[in-house]
Structure 1
Amino acid sequence: MKRSVDFARCVFVPRYHVENVPAGSTIYDVSSYAEPPYCELSPMWVHGGIPVPGTSGETSDTVEGVWQGLKIIRGKTAPRYFRGPGAKRGGKPSGHLFGAKHLGVVDARRLIYVPTYEWVIENRISPELVRAFINAARAGVTQYFHDVGDNGDPNDADQPLAHAAVLVRYLNRIAAR
């Protein structure tokens, strides 16, 4: 019997989560504040060589670098964010650049953020770690993943998307195969 991995909406108080996790389940902090190897699942983690969607061969050091670098603020993107540790970019974005297209946040999540984050899972995260999550799910262990964000809905454009939700959707899809 295959089981899914559960996404726990986050109130970033790990002690609260640890004390309230149902018996037999496991909780993982996958934020940049987590211990290795779980912190490597953060979009801020420097992995290097991450393809930037919608470009001709550009790469980024972080998922966050892709997201911030392709953000259009005052009519411009900032490819300098592709280099170095993940950092937030100030200003109100009007969208994201994907090739020559100007995308709204929901489409940008679908065409830029999710594929980039999933590429990192498949190409930069230890296959043993991913396999352990999937094996535990298939064995019926409920797993809760959280980060500093609490929006698990990629269609909710009013809040930043929690990368833990993207991770969980990916794990559920792979575990169901």
Structure 2
Amino acid sequence: MEIRVVHHGRHATAAATATVVDVTSRGPHPWVRFSPFYPHGGIPVPLTPGTTGTSVEAIWQALKVFASADVDRALLQATRMTGLKRTVRRHGPVLGHRAGLDGTDLLDYETARRRIYLPAYRHVLAHNLTAELTQLRLLASAGPVALLDYTTNGDVSDLSKPLSHAALIRLHLLDEWPGG
């Protein structure tokens, strides 16, 4: 099974040798459902028992803490795929991610990736995208597949670049999910 992660803007060569699947928020159905911005609903908010969010990105942004803004509970119910990002321009420097909506601890970036982003995205893969994952496995059994994303970083510890959800899809399909 050959599955590659390809930068969205540089996929022309991949198209010649692989089935190209755009898993970004601008991708076609059903592949757009892999976007962390897609509002599946019912995603457990990590470190917050009994609370759910609509999308992985909504959860990630809701738990972000800035110099002038704490968690944003309202984001957890956002059903749109745009306007979710909370920025330093508006709220000041990021202090970390809160360890749960009511947690007292702030998590550093890598720990937040491991304790918030990975569990939320893995939940979506396991509970909301089983049919699409089956389709990807079938495509990959027939030949190489290139997953398009805006970033290609699959190393949770590499904080110099955003984490690629396409890389996480690939790791999931290959049973190589990053350790906690």
Q: Same fold (TM over 0.5)?
A: yes
2:54 pairs with 1:51: no
Q: CA deviation at 1:148?
A: 2.0
Q: Equivalent residue for 1:116?
A: 120
Q: Hey, what's the Cα distance between the residues in 2 that align with 1:140 and 1:34?
A: 21
Equivalent position SS for 1:35: coil
* Residue number among 132, 141, 144 corresponding to 1:129 in the alignment: 132
Q: Which runs of 4+ in 1 moved over 4 A?
A: none
Q: Equivalent residue for 2:85?
A: 88
Q: Hey, what's the Cα distance between the residues in 1 that align with 2:2 and 2:116?
A: 25
Q: Equivalent residue for 2:173?
A: 171
Letter matched to residue 74 of structure 2? R
Q: Equivalent residue for 1:68?
A: 61
* Residue number among 2, 5, 8 corresponding to 1:7 in the alignment: 5
Q: CA deviation at 1:22?
A: 6.5
Q: Cα deviations across residues 113-168 of structure 1 (Å, max 9, x unaligned)?
A: 0111111111112x22211212333x262211122234332212132212111111
Report how many aligned residue pairs link the two structures: 165
Uncovered stretches (5+) of structure 2, i.e. residues with no partner: none
Compute the TM-score of the two structures, normalised by the length of structure 1: 0.84
Q: Hey, what's the Cα distance between the residues in 1 that align with 2:119 and 2:40?
A: 15
Q: Is contact 1:145–1:164 with CA below 8 Å preserved after alignment?
A: yes
Q: Is contact 1:31–1:41 with CA below 8 Å preserved after alignment?
A: yes
- Kindly report the root-mean-square deviation, in angstroms, between the aligned alpha carbons of the 2 structures: 2.0
Q: Hey, what's the Cα distance between the residues in 2 that align with 1:98 and 1:119?
A: 18
Q: Is contact 1:4–1:172 with CA below 8 Å preserved after alignment?
A: no
Compute the TM-score of the two structures, normalised by the length of structure 2: 0.82
Equivalent position SS for 2:97: strand
Letter matched to residue 89 of structure 1? R
Q: Hey, what's the Cα distance between the residues in 2 that align with 1:150 and 1:5?
A: 12
Q: Hey, what's the Cα distance between the residues in 1 that align with 2:39 and 2:114?
A: 22
Q: CA deviation at 1:4?
A: 4.4
- Bigger drift between 163-172 and 146-155 goes to 146-155
Q: CA deviation at 1:58?
A: 1.1
